[in-house]
Structures are given as structure tokens and as C-alpha cells.
Structure 1
Amino acid sequence: MWGRILSLGVAGGARLCRRSLFTMRLKSSEFQSLFTEGLKGLTELFEQNQYELRIAGGAVRDLLSAKRPEDVDFATTATPEEMKAMFQSAGIRMINNKGETHGTITARLHNENFEVTTLRVDVQTDGRHAEVEFTTDWQKDAERRDLTINSMFLGLDGTLYDYFNGYEDLQKRKVRFVGSAEQRIQEDYLRILRYFRFYGKVALQPDDHDPETLTAIRDNGRGLAAISGERVWVELKKIMVGNHTAHLLELIYDLELSQYIGLPPGGDVDEMKRVWHNAKDHAPKPMTILAALLQSKEEVEKMDVRLKVSREEKTLAQFLVRYKRDLCKNEEEPESLKPFTDFITDSRELDSKSKVCELLKYQGEHKLLSALGRWSIPNFPVSGHDLRRMGITSGKEIGSTLQKLRDVWKKSHYHMDKEELLSYIKP
């Protein structure tokens, strides 16, 4: 079923006073697969109490793209207090009450959690947070969302409710803000990075932006400085592993946003583009791509201060910055893993192999990457206890002897066993 229903909107600001509500009926297998016993029970409960319940946001976008969403969020006309009373009356457990002030109640039915949020309108925003009021108007809730493709609702009968041409934009693979791009950005400056993230998720072409959108982003980019590093890094990581990453990072520099989000002002964009091309088909970690922009230990530190990356991510950045030029294949034996396996066995760190794999992605050494994936770190067969049994008791001598034997073992490509190695020790 297809149709357009004319819907009255709210006059004022950038909001359109009349919108054409687009509806259609979805009956896909991905949609039908959502109906577990828990969701059936939730649907029946809201119907019995005469509250509307619809799927909201990203899950709708995924379903319209023939994908089964990993997470499903729900929106409702019921207030948090009404939901609590309804769930309590039905003997349904509620968990995680942290979202209640924002209108979200999480109910547990048939061992599943369902996050349901009351429809809202923004009363006041400061570029980071919003004060909200509850509403029963679906269009008003859709108006406060960031992108048209994220502003749709899906009824539990399969009816799509689309107030801002989100379905059409999704079909055309266009990423647009709801209404005025400038107004949406000023409500929450993180939406700049969300725009780039969804562009990498949805758009077919690397440079198909609306000019007015890029102008609004450039004019409001400084607002990103007030967004916490943790929130910025969450979005940046998703940009790094999406489509068009090289184009989007270059655009971030062209729009003069790098200074506000922890990227080095003199980032080597050409190197980043080369690395992304090398690594994109081999599941690189986000930091592997970002490290191409970093040129020194000091830049890694500055990046970490702003973005608050994890310890694992920081040490990977330090490793890549230090070794991306110094640890590379032997040109005389280009198919040999030895430089890399020697490094791994010498480092004796649990994650050394993982780091070297990211280095090979960075360098574009795909054959060596595949070979290293099949290689297991061997155990050095000699211990200090073995040397003490041979009469070597000095700790310093034990250490130097073990290192000499380790060098011999590496030259044998890790094939020599304990007896062969100990035979090198003079009685």
C-alpha cells in the first residue's frame, strides 16, 4: 500500500508549516523476523492500553534497506509514568532507569530488553544537550531528529510514517538534514560528524554533498570544540571503517574541522589516502587509518588528550608512528616474514602479532598479512632453569646466554630444538 497523507506541521523557524506524510506498507522477511514472543507481548500490551507504539530511527532505515537491525528502538505516545504504571500492572520488570528523565523506559519481556521512549520536542538546546518536553505528535518528534533517513517511524503493522522524504533520500542514497542543516547542527554540533558517518554508510558516490550542507558545516565547525572527546571518538571510529573514509577525512581538513576534533593540523592527508586504499579491504582498525595522519609521538599524545582513546588504541598509534617506516619487508627476500616474526618473538608482548598485522595493512603488504595470519608464535625452547643445570649461575650470564641462543634460534627460522641450542654452550 502506497500513499500520501497531508499533515499539518508547526509554523515558525526552519520547520515547514505543511509536510506531506508519505506512507507505505512493509512486509519484508527482515521485518517479520523481529516478532519474537517478547515483541508480540509488548505490542499487545500497548494496544490494550490504547497507546501508539512504533519502531524508530536507525532500525527503520535498516529494515528499508533489507537489513535486519542489530538494535531496535521504539517510540510511543505514552509518557514514562504511564508506561511504568502499565508495566507494573502487567507484572513486567523494568530495568536501567537512567534514561527515565529523557523519556526512556526499558522493559524486559521473555528474556528480551525493549527500550521505549516517549515522543519528545526540544524546548532548549545548547549545542551539546537538549531540554525536552513530551508530546503525542509524531511529526514534532521527527522534526527534532538529525537526518531525514533517521526520522522515519514504522508501525508494528508494517506501515511506514515518513514526514521528511527520508524514504526517497534513502532510495537515492542521499544524506540530508531534517529541515535547516544549520539549525540541526546548532542543536547538537556532534551532528556534523554523524552526517559524515552516515554519508559513509549510505551514499554511493564519494562527493555528492549538497553545497548548503557543507557551508553549514564549515560555518559551525568550531562548535565541535565543546563536544567531549569520548563522543567525538565514537563517531570518528565509525567514519574510519565506513565507505569513502579517505574522502571524508580530506573533507574534514578542507572544512577546517581538524583543529576541533583532535586531528593534527598538519596531517598528511596524502599518506592517509594511500593507507586507506591499501587497507580498506582488510578490516583495518580505526586507529590504523588515523595513524597515517600522525607523524610523531607528540602528535599521538595530543590526539589522546583530546579524544581520550583507549590504552590499546593509543599504543597501536604509537607503534605505527614509530615503525611504519622502520619495520618493513626485506627487499632481497620480499616474500619472507622474517623481519616481522623476529620482531614479534623479540617483543614478547601478547598483542605484538596483532600490531604487526595492522602495520602490514598500513603498508599494503597483503600477501605477508595473509601469511602472518597463518603463522603461530613459537615457544623459545630454552629457559634459565636449563642453563642453571649446566652450571651457569650468574643472572647476568644467564641473560646474555639466553639472548645469544635466541639469536641462533631466530636464524634457524625457529626450527632448532632445546638440545640443538644447548649444544652451542661451551662446557
Structure 2
Amino acid sequence: MWRRILNPVVVGTVRLTWRSLYTMQLKTKEFQSLFSDGLNGIAEIFEKHQFELRIAGGAVRDLLSGKRPEDVDFATTATPAQMKAIFQKAGIRMINNKGEKHGTITARIHNENFEVTTLRVDVHTDGRHAEVEFTTDWQKDAERRDLTINSMFLGLDGTLYDFFQGYEDLKERKVRFVGSPEQRIQEDYLRILRYFRFYGRVSVNAGEHDPTTLTAIKENARGLTAISGERIWVELKKMVVGNHAAHLIEVMYDLGLPQYIGLPVEGDVEKMNLVWQNVKEHSPRPMTVLSALFCNSDDVEKMDLRLKVSKEEKNLGLFLVKHRHDLHKSPDDPDTLKPYTDFIIDSREADAQSKVCELLKYQGEDKLLAEMSRWSIPRFPVSGHDLRKMGITSGKEIGTILQNLRDVWKKRRYQMDKDELLGNINRS
């Protein structure tokens, strides 16, 4: 049953209209499945010392969507010092306490880690980081969060605490900032990309953005220049493989974001739309989608310079840009993988097959992709040792013969065994 409590809400210096605190009781199997010896133990400790403990943020959103969250974060009225004291008294080990200055303590009990963060309020923000003070006011902590669907708390008795109609937005599949979009963005400009990522995750239909939100994003896009490439890449690579990815990238171009996040200003958005249709059902890697925007390898290098992607991701981008046109199915035999398998056989790269799979996704070759996924790289059966046993000792001659035999083997679709190949030496 819903319970509504009217509260005036002030977010920063902006006083909002009257909001309602909604509460309800959640009793789903996903929620009940969270309770383990570890969670029960942590809950007992906080209850014993009269501190409130609730599930916070994304885990609440997932539970309300009928999903069991992979990660569960907790919020509490206890300060970090108080948490350390009660954990030490209970003999509970604390680990990875680098987040203590931000209010987070990680406790380990019954072989489980529990990350618990003190309720906070921002006292100063610079668009990247926030200076915080601890509070015992759940509403004030909710006010500092980015989106309404991420601002809810769930008590361990199943009570939902929702100050900004987050559950209503979740049911209606809406993505809204808490309070003023402009103010939330200016507190942390990365929230621009978080908006797009969660839009792809939550919204059913593309193109149902609130115009005020898009205006705030456009007017504050330059703030992304101050955000580290690593943080941008974390959000971007999740967004481009989610729902509505092509639409969202197009909107980002319309709003002028690419120049601030490492994407080419003149990116080929039309091509990206076509590639997205090819790849969206095949679990593409982020770089496979983004490569459609790149005109040449320089665009990949510039992106890497800004976002500091992994070597593997960068190499995939360079591979796709280089081979998306010159490596393709044979017009004489379009139903075979031969051009692709020959490339893999000749390649010295250990991940050549996985790169070719991404290329096939990019090209929309669904049938060949299915075959490639089942194909195992055959082993070339002849070695230099075999030739030396035949009395061929010149290194140069051995190299030439091996290459000739490899060409014969490829033409026969890798079906010849060692004896058959060695029988071709005199004819090579």
C-alpha cells in the first residue's frame, strides 16, 4: 500500500514545488533473495547500535524493475568513524577503505563484502568532484543524486522511500534529473552522459526527451572538457551497446557533444545508423559501433588520446577502419568464409578471429558470422623440421617452400594433410 507524506523540497538554492514522499512495501522474491548470513549479520549490528541502514541507488531501481541487482550499495545514518567503531567491536574486518573520506566503509562478513556509505550533502561542487558533509537526513542525500530513478532508498523491511517520484518515473519509463537539470549537470558534468546511458536502459521509445533537459545539456556541454577520459569512456561504452544507441549518438551530435568527448566532429552519423541496425542483435563491442563514425585511423588515434581506451579497444578500432572495405566476401563465392578465414590464417595476431567476428557484425553478414562463430582455426600440418628431414637445409628455401605449401593448403580449404602437402614440393 502506498503512503504519501507531503514535504517542501529545497535542492541547492532552488526551491522546488511541494513533493511527496511515497512509501510502499516491497515483498518480491528478488528482494528476499538478497538476504544472506552476511546481510543479516550487518543488519543486526546497525540495528543494535540504533543506526538506520537502507539499500540505495541502482539496486533499488533494479529491484523495483523485477531484477536481482548484481551489486548492492547501502546507505546509513552512521558516520564512517561510527561504522569503524561498531565493526571493530563486532570483530568484523574492513577492507579497501580508500573511500572513507567520501563516507564509504567496506565491511567483510561471512565471505561477503558490504559497501556502506554515510548519508551526505554537497557543500561545494566544481563540475567534477564534490566536497561533502555527512548528514542523517535521507531526503538531503536523495537531493544530491542525479536522476529520480537513482534517488530512492529501500529499507531492509521492504519499505520504499521515494522523495522525487522515482518509482512513478520508473513505471512510466521516464528519465529525469532530480530538480533542476542545469544544476544537477553543473555539479558533475559526467551526468550528461549518465542521462543518455540511463535513457537507453529505461526508456521504451527513442526521442521522448524533455526539451528542458536537452537545452540544459546543450548549454553545459563544454563542461565535459574537464571530465577525465577514463570516466567518459566508462559511460560511453555502456551507452553505445544499449537500447536506442544510434538515436542517442545522433542526439549527442545535434547537441554538440562529440568535440568534448573524443568523437570526430564530422562523424558519419548516417553510416553509424546503418551499422547499428547490423550489429544491435549480436552483442557488439563498443568500438564496433563507434567505428562507423570514424573516417580514418586518425579519428581512432584522437579518440584514444582523449579517452585513453585500452590497447585492445584501440586496435579493434584501427582494424575495423582499415579492413571494413577491403576485407569482404568473395563475389564469386559469396556464401563462403574463405576471404575471412584466409586473413585469419595469415594473421599473426592472436585475436584475429574475434576481430573478424566484429567486422562481420559491422558489415551485416549474419550468416557468415554464425559460421565464423563455429569455425576453429586449423593447424598448418607442415613445419620446417619436416623439410629438413627431407634434406632441405637452406633457411631461405625452407621459407619459400613453406609459403608455397601454405598457399596450396589455403586453396584446398585447409583439407590437405602433411603427406599430401609434402607431395606437392616438387610441383611448387
TM-score range normalised by the length of the shorter chain: over 0.9
**Cα distance change on mapping 1:79 and 1:12 into 2, 3 Å:** closer
What's the TM-score once normalised by structure 1's chain length?
Answer: 0.98
The 8 Å contact of residues 8 and 16 in structure 2, kept in 1 or not, is answered as no
Deviations 1:107-133 (A, max 9, x none): 011100000000000000000000000
What per-residue deviation string (whole Å, max 9, x for no partner) do you get for residues 259-284 of structure 1?
Answer: 00000111100110100110000000
> Cα distance 1:12–1:276, how it changes in 2: closer, same or farther (>3 A)?
closer
Aligned to 2:134: 134
Tell me which residue corresponds to 1:34: 34
Query: Are 2:398 and 1:398 equivalent residues in the alignment?
Result: yes
Return the alpha-carbon distance in structure 2 between the equivalents of residues 328 and 25 of structure 1: 57
Residue number in structure 1 paired with 2:122: 122
> Does the Cα contact within 8 Å between 2:2 and 2:23 map onto a contact in 1?
yes
1:4 aligns with 2:10: no
Within 2, Cα distance between the matches of 1:208 and 1:126? 30
Q: Deviations over 1:286-321 (max 9, x none)?
A: 000011111211111111100100000011000000
The one-letter code matched in structure 2 to 1:40 is N
Structure 1 residue matching 2:127: 3-state secondary structure:
coil
Partner of 2:271: 271
Q: In the TM superposition, what are the counterparts of 1:200-349 in structure 2 within 5 Å?
A: 200-349=200-349
Secondary structure of the corresponding residue to residue 225 of structure 1: helix
Describe how 1:344-355 pairs up with structure 2 within 5 A. Answer: 344-355=344-355
My pick for the range that moved more, 13-22 or 242-251, is: 13-22
SS, match of residue 271 in structure 1: helix
Structure 1 counterpart of 2:81: 81
Identify the residue that residue 199 of structure 1 maps to in structure 2: 199
Q: SS where residue 105 of structure 2 aligns? A: strand
Unpaired stretches in structure 2, ≥5 consecutive residues: none
CA distance in 1, matches of 2:221, 2:17: 29
Normalised TM-score (structure 2): 0.98
Aligned counterparts of 1:224 and 1:95: Cα–Cα separation in 2: 33
Percent of aligned positions that are identical:
73
Aligned-residue CA RMSD (Å): 1.1
Match for residue 43 of structure 1?
Answer: 43
* Residue deviations 1:23-69 (CA, integer Å, cap 9, x gap): 11100000000001100111111111000000000000000000000
**Retained in 2: the 8 A contact 1:11–1:17?**
no
User: What is the SS of the residue equivalent to 1:38?
Assistant: helix
Partners in 2 of 1:53 and 1:299 — Cα distance? Answer: 48
- Asked if the contact 2:11/2:143 (under 8 Å) is kept, the reply is no
Conserved 8 A contact 2:287-2:313: yes
Letter in 2 for 1:199: Y
Deviation at 1:5, TM superposition (A): 1.3
- Residues 15 and 143 in structure 1, CA contact (< 8 A), matched pair in contact too: no
CA distance in 2, matches of 1:125, 1:90: 36
Is residue 376 from structure 1 mapped to residue 376 from structure 2 by the alignment?
Answer: yes
Amino acid at match of 2:320: L
Secondary structure of the residue aligned to 1:212 is helix
Shift of 1:348: 3.2
Structure 1 residues 12 and 238: alpha-carbon distance in aligned structure 2, compared to 1, 3 A threshold: closer
Question: Which secondary structure does the structure 2 equivalent of 1:426 belong to?
Answer: helix
Q: 1:56 corresponds to which letter in structure 2?
A: A
> Number of residue pairs matched?
427
Please list every run of 5 or more consecutive structure 1 residues that lacks an aligned counterpart in the other structure.
none
Q: CA deviation at 1:14?
A: 2.1
Amino acid at match of 1:75: A
Check whether the contact 2:287–2:317 (CA below 8 A) recurs between aligned residues: yes
Aligned residue number for residue 112 of structure 2: 112
Deviation of 1:241 after TM superposition, in Å, equals: 1.0
